[in-house]
Chain A
Amino acid sequence: MINSVAQRPSRPQGRPRYKGKAPYVFLSPYVVLTAVFFAVPFFNAIMLAFYETNGPRSRAFVGLANFVFLFRDSTFRRALLNTTVFALVSVFLQLPLSMALALLLNAGAARVKGFFRLVFFSPNLVGQVLVGILFSVLFTPRYGLVNRGFQLVLHWGLETRWLSDPRFIMPAIVLASLWLWVGFNMIYFLAALQTVDKTLQEAARIDGANPWQIFWHVTLPSMRHVVVFVVIMSVIGSYQLFELPLTLLSESYGFGANDAGLTLITYLNYRAFRAGDLGLGSAVGWVVAVIIFFISLIQIRLGRVAEED
C-alpha cells in the first residue's frame, strides 16, 4: 500500500491549485444552465412517462400503463415498422447512392467536382419543410411533374396517388428524402475518399485487382471510420424523421392513408401535442431513445469487428 502511494504520479508542477469558492463561482453558470435546461427536463421526462397528464393542472399516475398501451397499440407498431423500413432504405439505398455519387465526383476534374458538389448538396440547404411542400406539388396526380415525367418515360403513373394511396406513400417519402439527403452524405464520403492513400490503390491495380476489388478491399476499408459514422448518423436521423412526412402528408397530420407514412416522431408529436397526452408522448420518446441507443451500439460493435478483421 505504501509502495503504491509512493508510485502515484505527482500533480504537474507550475499549475496553481486554487483554494476557496472562486472556481465554483465561475463554473456555476454552466452548472445552473445545464441543470435548468438539461437535467431537470431530462428527469422530468422520465417521470412524465409514468403519468397521464392534462397540462400542468392535472395528472394521474399510471405506472407502466403508457408503455403497455404503446406496445398494444397497432398504430404505434405501424409507426415503428414504417420508421424501421425507412432506416433500412436509408442504409441500403440512400448511402450506396451517396457513395456512388462521391466516387463519380472523386474521379472527375476538380472544377467540375466543386460545381456538382454544390448542386448535389444544395437541396439540403432548403430544409425538410420546404422539400415536403415542394414534393407535395410535384406528386400531384395528373398535373404534378413527377407524374407527368413517369407518364412520358414509362407510360405509367399519370394518376398515381403518391400521397393518398397507401402503397405509394412510403416510396414517395423515400424519393423526397433521397433528393434531400443523398448529396449531404455524399460530402462526407467525398471528403473521406480524398484521404485514401493513392499508393495502396495503385499497388492493388498493379497486382491485377479490378476497380470493384480495389473499391471493396482497399478504398472502403480505408474510409471505414467515416462509413460507420455516416451509417450511425443516418439511422439516428431516420428514427427521428418528422418534418418531411408531416409536410408531405399535412392533411392527415403526417399519418397518411392507412398510417402508411406514420413515423415514430410523428406519432410522438400527435400523441403529445395534438392529443395533449404528454405522458404518452414522453413514453414514445424513451422508446425511441432506447431503440437508437441499441442500434448505435450494435453498429459501433460491428465497426470494431470489421476493423479487427
Chain B
Amino acid sequence: MRFANNFPYGRAPFWLLVIAVVSVIVRVATAHRPEARPDLVMVTHTEAQFDAYRKAIPRFEREHGVKVQLQFANWASLQARLQNAILADTEVPDLSEVLEGALGFFTRGPIEDFGLLDLTDRLHADGLDQRLVQSRLSVWSARGRVYALPHDVHPVMLAYRRDLVEALGIDVSKLDTWDKFVEVGRQVSRDLNGDGIVDRYMLDMRYDGNWTLQILMFQQGGQLFDQQGDVAFATEETAQLIRWYIEQVRGPHRIGYECGWGQPVVKAMTDGLVLFQWAPDWRSWVLANEAPDLAGKMALMPMPAWTPGGRRTSTWGGTGLMIMKQTRHPELAWQLAKYLYFDTADLGERFRATNILPALRDAWKLPEFDAPFPYYSNQRIGRMYADLAPETPPVYSSPVDEAARTGLDRAFNRSAAYYAQHGEAGLLDAIRANLAEAAEDVRRLAGREKILAKGKP
C-alpha cells in the first residue's frame, strides 16, 4: 500500500498497472495449447452425409494410418465461413463440400489465385471422368477445368398425390408433355366451394419464378452461361418460357400455386391444395420425412417433356467436394475424396439413407437402387432416377452465377408486372427487352472480373 501511495503518478494508475500485469500473466499461464491439427480436416453440410462419412472414415484412417477430422456446419454458414476465410487468407479445411452455385465465388480472378486444387488431371488419370455422369462435371468446372468432385446427379421428377390424382381419373402416363399437363391442370385447378378462392391447383410453382423457372429452363436446354462462361439466358426460348410460366402462375387459367417451403408445403400437399410437387432425388427424401402421413398416397413420375419424346427431367441443386490448395497433403485428400465418393461398398447404403443418386454410374447397379420405396407406393424410385440421370442437363458455372440467377428473376418479375398492367399485348417484346437488360447487367459485372484477371491466363 505504501508503494501505491509513493507511485509517482498516483494510486489509480498504480492499480491499473497492477491489473494489466496480472491479467497478462493469468492469460499466458492459462492459455490452452492448440491441439495438433489432424492430417486432414473435412467439412460437410448435411447431417445424412455427416453420419455416412463418420461411419466410413475409420476404415480410411486404418488403411492409411492417418487421422481425419470430420466437421459439420450448416450449408449457409459453411459457405460464408469458407468465403471469409479465403478473403482473409486464413486457415481453411483440407476438403469441403459446398452447394451448387458456390463454385463461382472460389473461381474469381486469375487462375493462380484460385484457392482450390485443379482435379482435372487426377480425374482423367484415374479414369473417373468416364465413369461419372458427364453433365455433372459442368457444375463443378471453371474455365474448362474441374475444381470439385460431383457428389450427386439430382435428376428432377414430379411427386404427386396418387390417391387424389387417381380419384380425379387422371392417367399420369399420358401426361408426357407440358401441353397435356397444362390441359389437365386447367380442368382440376378449381374453386371447389364457391367462395371465389381456388382450392385445388395442379402444381407447386414459385410466384416469382426463381428455382421453378430455372428447372424448366434447364429442361428446355437453356443455360445461365454457356460453356465459355458467357451469359446465355437472354434467348428466344427463355422468352417463350417466361411467357408460358406467367400464364401458369398469373393468368386467368393458372394451374400453379406457390406452396412455400417446409411445413406450408406439407400442409398444401396434405390438404390437396396442390397435387404435383417438384421432386429431385434429395427432395423425395425430404417429403417422405416431413409428410409421413402421406405414406403410400404419393408417387413419382418423370417431368412432362417440352416436345413429344423430349427430355423428361431437369436438375435442381448439387453438392461438390473441393480440395483446398492450402492442404498439406493433397494426395491424401484426393484419396479420401475418392474413397468417400466412389467406393461402391458404401454408396448403396448411403442411397438408402438419403435417396440421393450418386454421380458414379457403376453404383446404380447395386441392389439398393432397385428396392421398392413404400412411401411412393412401392415404386422403385432409385431405378426411376437412375434411368433419367443420363438425360440430366449440364449447368455451367461462372463467378457471377448468383447475379445471373437474380437477373433472370428480375426479368421474369418485370415481365409479370407488365402482364398485370397490359395483359398479353406486347408481352413477348417486353420479356425480350427485360431479358436483354438483365443479361447486360450480368455482362457488366462479368467485365469487372476481366479487369481483375487482366494480363493473367
Q: Which residues of A contact B (CB under 8 A)?
A: 18, 22, 26, 52-60, 62, 65, 69, 72-75, 140-143, 158-159, 161, 164-166, 251-253, 255, 257-259, 270, 273-278, 280
The answer to whether A54 and B451 touch across the interface, beta carbons within 8 angstroms, is no
One of B105, B264, B444, B451 near A274 (C-beta < 8 A): B105
The answer to whether B444 and A69 touch across the interface, beta carbons within 8 angstroms, is yes
* Known contacts A69-B444, A161-B258, A258-B410; A55 and B403 CB within 8 A of each other: no
B449 to chain A, nearest CB (A): 9
CA distance A165 to B416 in the complex (A): 10
Q: Please, which residues of chain B bring their CB within 8 A of the CB of A75? A: 441
B267 to chain A, nearest CB (A): 6
* Known contacts A159-B197, A255-B406; A57 and B113 CB within 8 A of each other: yes
Is B94 interfacial (CB-CB < 8 Å)?
no
Q: Please, which residues of chain B bring their CB within 8 A of the CB of A259? A: 410
Which residues of chain B from 57 to 101 have any CB-CB distance to chain A below 8 Å in the complex? 80, 83-84, 86-89
Is B19 interfacial (CB-CB < 8 Å)?
no
* Known contacts A55-B89, A251-B210, A276-B105; A166 and B417 CB within 8 A of each other: yes
B154 to chain A, nearest CB (A): 18
Determine the residue in chain B with the shortest Cβ distance to A18.
B9
CA distance A26 to B444 in the complex (A): 52
Q: Please, which residues of chain A bring their CB within 8 A of the CB of B13? A: 26
CA distance A180 to B8 in the complex (A): 53
CA distance A166 to B210 in the complex (A): 13
Extra contacts, 14 of them, besides A26-B16, A55-B88, A278-B87 (Cβ < 8 A), are A52-B452, A53-B452, A54-B108, A65-B451, A73-B444, A166-B413, A257-B208, A257-B209, A258-B208, A273-B84, A274-B402, A275-B445, A276-B105, A276-B399
Q: Please, which residues of chain B bring their CB within 8 A of the CB of A74? A: 437, 441
* Known contacts A55-B89, A56-B87, A258-B410; A164 and B206 CB within 8 A of each other: yes
Number of interchain pairs (Cβ within 8 Å)? 111
Q: Please, which residues of chain B bring their CB within 8 A of the CB of A253? A: 402, 406
Q: Please, which residues of chain A bring their CB within 8 A of the CB of B445? A: 275
Provide the B430-457 mask, 1 if CB < 8 A to any CB of A, else 0.
0000000100010011001001101000
A209 to chain B, nearest CB (A): 50
Determine the residue in chain B with the shortest Cβ distance to A277.
B448
B409 to chain A, nearest CB (A): 7
CA distance A69 to B403 in the complex (A): 15
A37 to chain B, nearest CB (A): 15
Is B144 interfacial (CB-CB < 8 Å)?
no
B407 to chain A, nearest CB (A): 9
* Known contacts A140-B264, A257-B413, A273-B84; A58 and B110 CB within 8 A of each other: yes
The answer to whether B89 and A56 touch across the interface, beta carbons within 8 angstroms, is yes
CA distance A274 to B83 in the complex (A): 8
One of A65, A72, A275 near B105 (C-beta < 8 A): A275
The answer to whether A54 and B400 touch across the interface, beta carbons within 8 angstroms, is no
CA distance A270 to B87 in the complex (A): 14
Q: Please, which residues of chain B bring their CB within 8 A of the CB of A54? A: 108-110, 113, 452
Number of interface residues of B (CB under 8 A): 48
Q: Please, which residues of chain B bring their CB within 8 A of the CB of A56? A: 87-89
Is B160 interfacial (CB-CB < 8 Å)?
no
Determine the residue in chain B with the shortest Cβ distance to A23.
B9
One of A18, A60, A62, A251 near B261 (C-beta < 8 A): A251
Q: Please, which residues of chain B bring their CB within 8 A of the CB of A159? A: 197
CA distance A141 to B268 in the complex (A): 11
Which residues of chain B from 256 to 306 have any CB-CB distance to chain A below 8 Å in the complex? 258, 260-261, 264, 267-268, 273
Is B414 interfacial (CB-CB < 8 Å)?
yes
* Known contacts A73-B441, A258-B410, A276-B87; A165 and B207 CB within 8 A of each other: yes
A157 to chain B, nearest CB (A): 11
* Known contacts A26-B13, A58-B109; A276 and B83 CB within 8 A of each other: yes
Which residues of chain B from 1 to 20 have any CB-CB distance to chain A below 8 Å in the complex? 8-9, 13, 16
Q: List 9 A-B contacts (CB under 8 A).
A: A69-B444, A159-B197, A164-B206, A165-B208, A251-B210, A252-B406, A258-B417, A276-B108, A276-B399
Q: Please, which residues of chain B bring their CB within 8 A of the CB of A69? A: 444, 448
* Known contacts A60-B454, A275-B105; A164 and B208 CB within 8 A of each other: yes
The answer to whether B451 and A273 touch across the interface, beta carbons within 8 angstroms, is no
Q: Please, which residues of chain B bring their CB within 8 A of the CB of A62? A: 451
Which residues of chain B from 219 to 263 have any CB-CB distance to chain A below 8 Å in the complex? 258, 260-261
CA distance A45 to B378 in the complex (A): 60
CA distance A38 to B8 in the complex (A): 32
A109 to chain B, nearest CB (A): 43
The answer to whether B451 and A52 touch across the interface, beta carbons within 8 angstroms, is yes
Determine the residue in chain B with the shortest Cβ distance to A151.
B197
A17 to chain B, nearest CB (A): 12
CA distance A280 to B403 in the complex (A): 14
Determine the residue in chain A with the shortest Cβ distance to B80.
A273
Q: Please, which residues of chain B bring their CB within 8 A of the CB of A142? A: 264, 268, 273
Q: Please, which residues of chain B bring their CB within 8 A of the CB of A52? A: 448, 451-452
Determine the residue in chain B with the shortest Cβ distance to A161.
B207
* Known contacts A22-B8, A69-B444, A278-B87; A140 and B452 CB within 8 A of each other: no
The answer to whether A143 and B89 touch across the interface, beta carbons within 8 angstroms, is no
Name which of B208, B400, B402, B410 has the most chain A CB atoms within 10 A of its CB.
B208
Determine the residue in chain A with the shortest Cβ distance to B102.
A274
The answer to whether A275 and B400 touch across the interface, beta carbons within 8 angstroms, is yes
Determine the residue in chain A with the shortest Cβ distance to B411.
A258
CA distance A78 to B359 in the complex (A): 41
CA distance A54 to B115 in the complex (A): 11
B287 to chain A, nearest CB (A): 18
Q: Please, which residues of chain A bring their CB within 8 A of the CB of B9? A: 18, 22, 26
Q: Please, which residues of chain A bring their CB within 8 A of the CB of B441? A: 73-75
A176 to chain B, nearest CB (A): 17
B21 to chain A, nearest CB (A): 13
Provide the B203-220 mask, 1 if CB < 8 A to any CB of A, else 0.
000111110000000000
Q: Please, which residues of chain A bring their CB within 8 A of the CB of B113? A: 54-55, 57-58
Determine the residue in chain A with the shortest Cβ distance to B109.
A54
CA distance A161 to B417 in the complex (A): 14
CA distance A57 to B109 in the complex (A): 10
The answer to whether A273 and B83 touch across the interface, beta carbons within 8 angstroms, is yes
The answer to whether B448 and A252 touch across the interface, beta carbons within 8 angstroms, is no
A102 to chain B, nearest CB (A): 37
Q: Please, which residues of chain A bring their CB within 8 A of the CB of B207? A: 161, 164-165, 257
Which residues of chain B from 155 to 204 have any CB-CB distance to chain A below 8 Å in the complex? 197
A216 to chain B, nearest CB (A): 41
Q: Please, which residues of chain B bring their CB within 8 A of the CB of A166? A: 208, 413, 417
The answer to whether B258 and A164 touch across the interface, beta carbons within 8 angstroms, is yes
* Known contacts A164-B207, A258-B417; A143 and B105 CB within 8 A of each other: no
One of B87, B197, B264 near A158 (C-beta < 8 A): B197
Q: Please, which residues of chain B bring their CB within 8 A of the CB of A274? A: 83, 105, 402
